[in-house]
Amino acid sequence: MWENPAERDALLKDIQAMGSVRQREYRWRNRRGERFTVLLSAETITLSDARHMLLMVLDITQRKRAEEELRASEARLRESEARFSAAFHSSPVITAISRASDARFVLANDAFLNWAGYSREEVLGRTAIELGIWENPAERQRFWDEVRAAGSNRSRECDCAIAAGVFPRCSPRGSSSHSMARTTCWP
């Protein structure tokens, strides 16, 4: 039953020395040779003037598997986020991501910052209106209304103002998920 018999011997020694043990994990095998993980607590008790050992064992195999799957999933997510971040920030395409609810920038790539002439700190948390990027705020509102209504907008041209006061003609492309919207601008 014990995958490692030395653990059984150590458990018995600890119970004799301390009288009890609480919530220790062990690897066991069943009759079919399948491995499983248990959480074991034990205590010595006296019944009819004879010492006995009371064991409580909980099979936590499924929980341990779920924890391992969660760790693996989190590692895959971190790797995916790192790949996305590297691709996003190094892309030569002018791209920013805004919250769909209030159009505040949450991400802006280096191409966007270079094009607009702002630092990342100046952009994040602000809207294009606050930065004065759209020459015509009503045009920006129509753009966002279309993105929110249709989920994307790929056919609009507009005049944008960048930090240097220049008004280049742009073709913004917008797409929206439930909580974020991505805007790509093609000067």
Pick the closest to residue 133 from 106, 158, 100, 99 (CA basis): 158
- Domains of the chain, by residue range, sit at 5-59, 91-186
Q: Using an 8 Å Cβ cutoff, are 131 and 122 in contact?
A: yes
pTM of the prediction? Answer: 0.58
Which of 98-102, 134-138, 152-156 bottoms out in mean pLDDT, i.e. has the lowest? Answer: 152-156
C-alpha–C-alpha distance, residues 153 and 143, integer Å: 7
pLDDT at 168 over 60: no
Give tens-digit pLDDT for 11-42.
989 998 998 999 999 999 989 999 999 999 99
Report the topology of domain 91-186: Beta-Lactamase (3.30.450)
C-alpha–C-alpha distance, residues 64 and 74, integer Å: 15
Answer with the residue of higher pLDDT: 63 or 128. 63
Q: With bands split at pLDDT 50, 70 and 90, how would you rate the model's confidence at 187?
A: very low
Tell me whether residue 133 is exposed, middle or buried, using C-beta atoms within 10 angstroms of its C-beta: 0 to 12, 13 to 18, 19 or more.
Answer: buried
Instruction: State the pLDDT at residue 165.
Output: 58
